[in-house]
Chains A and B, each alone.
Chain A
Amino acid sequence: MHSILQGVWEGLRLIFTGDPQTYEIALRSLEVSTSALAIALLIGVPIGALVGLSQFHGRQFVVASLNTGMGMPRVVVGLVVALFLWRTGPLGFLGIMYTMQAMIIAQVLIATPIVAALCVAALQQLDPGFKLQVTSLGAGRMRTFALLMREIKGPLLAATAAAFGGVIAEVGAVMMVGGNIKGQTEVLTTGIVANVNTGLFGSAIALAVVLLILSFSTNFAMLLLQRRPKRQAG
Chain B
Amino acid sequence: MAAAPLTSPRAATAPILETRGLDIVRGGRLIVHVDRLTIESGEIRVVLGPNGCGKTTMMRALNTLTPSTGEILFKGAPVLTRSDKLALRRQTAAVFQQAYLLATTVRANVETGLRIRGVDAEERHRRAGDALEMLGVAHLADRPRDGLSGGEAQRVSIARALAVDPAIIFLDEPTAALDPPTRRELLADLERIFRELKTSVMWVTHDIGEALAVADRIAFITEGRVRQDGTPDEILTRPASKEVADFLGVDTWIEGEVRDGGDGRLTFVARGGGCLTVEDPRPGPALVCIRPDDVVLFREPPQAVGPERPNSFPATVSGLRPVGRHWRVSLDWEGETVDAVLDRTAQAQLAVKQGDEVWALIDAPLQALPRESPAAL
A–B complex contacts, Cβ < 8 Å, 12 sampled: A132-B94, A132-B96, A132-B100, A136-B94, A138-B86, A138-B90, A138-B113, A143-B116, A230-B146, A231-B146, A232-B148, A234-B149
Q: Are A230 and B103 in contact (CB under 8 A)?
A: yes
Q: Which residue of A lies closest to B60 (CB)?
A: A132
* Contact for B117 among A132, A138, A151, A228, CB less than 8 A: A138
A150 within 8 A of B: yes
State whether A234 touches B150 (Cβ < 8 A).
yes
A127: chain B residues within 8 A (beta carbon)? 98, 100
Flag A139-161 by CB within 8 Å of B: 1 or 0 each: 11001000100110100000000
Instruction: Decide yes or no: A129 and B98 within 8 Å by CB, A136-B89, A232-B148, A234-B154 being known contacts.
Output: yes
Which residues of chain A in 209-234 are interfacial with respect to chain B, using CB atoms and an 8 Å cutoff? 228-234
Closest residue to B100 on the A side, CB-wise? A133
> Which of A130, A138, A147, A234 contacts B89, CB < 8 Å?
A138
The answer to whether B103 and A129 touch across the interface, beta carbons within 8 angstroms, is: no
- Does more than half of chain B's interface fall in helix, strand or loop, or is it mixed? loop
Residue contact A150 to B116, C-beta cutoff 8 Å:
no
Interface assignment of B301: CB less than 8 Å from any CB of chain A: no
Across the interface, A129 reaches (CB within 8 A) one of B63, B86, B93, B96, namely B96
Chain B contacts with A in 41-62, Cβ cutoff 8 A:
60
Tell me the minimal C-beta distance from A53 to chain B in angstroms.
Answer: 14
> Nearest-CB distance from A66 to chain B (Å)?
25
B82-107 vs A, CB cutoff 8 Å, 1 = contact: the mask equals: 00001001101110101111111000
B112-A147 in contact (CB<8A):
yes
By beta carbon, the residue of chain B nearest A150 is B103
* CA distance in complex: A151, B112 (Å): 14
Who on chain A is nearest to B101 by CB? A232
Q: Does B289 touch A at the CB level, under 8 Å? A: no
Residues of B within 8 A of A143 (CB): 116
* A168–B89 CA distance with the chains assembled, in angstroms: 46
Chain B stretch 97-128: residues in CB contact (< 8 A) with chain A: 98-104, 112-113, 116-117
Q: Would you list the 8 A-B pairs with minimal beta carbon distance, nearest first?
A: A234-B150, A136-B94, A133-B100, A138-B90, A137-B113, A138-B116, A138-B89, A129-B100
Most buried by B among A135, A137, A147, A232: A137
Total number of A residues with any Cβ neighbor in B under 8 Å: 24
Q: Is B162 an interface residue (CB 8 A)?
A: no
Interface centre among A127, A138, A153 (most CB of B within 10 A): A138
B74 lies within 8 A of chain A by Cβ: no
Q: Is B65 a contact of A234 with CB atoms below 8 Å? A: no
* Chain A residues closer than 8 Å to B202, beta-carbon distance: none
Question: Which residues does chain B contribute within 8 Å of A230, judged by CB atoms?
Answer: 103, 146
Closest-CB distance, A8 to chain B (whole angstroms): 45
Which B residues are CB-close (under 8 A) to A138?
86, 89-90, 113, 116-117, 164
Q: Which residue of A lies closest to B91 (CB)?
A: A138
B 154-170 binary contact with A (CB < 8 Å = 1; else 0): 10000010001000001
Interface residues of A in 177-200 (CB under 8 A from B): none
A230 to B144, CA, bound (A): 11
On whether the beta carbons of B94 and A232 are closer than 8 Å, the reply is: no
Distance of A164 from chain B, by nearest CB (Å): 23
A232–B146 alpha-carbon span in the complex (Å) = 5
B170 to A, closest residue via Cβ: A136
Give the residues in chain A near B149, CB-CB below 8 Å: 233-234
In the bound complex, CA of A230 to CA of B116 (Å): 24
For B92, the chain A residues whose CB sits under 8 A away are 136
Collect the chain A residues with CB atoms within 8 Å of residue B96's CB: 129, 132-133
Q: Which residues from chain A contact B180 at a C-beta distance below 8 Å?
A: none
Inter-chain contact A229/B146, CB cutoff 8 Å = yes
Residue of A nearest to B98 (CB): A129
Cβ of B145 within 8 Å of any chain A Cβ, yes or no, is: yes
Complex Cα distance, B145 from A229, in Å, reads 10
Query: Cβ of B86 and Cβ of A233 under 8 Å apart?
Result: no
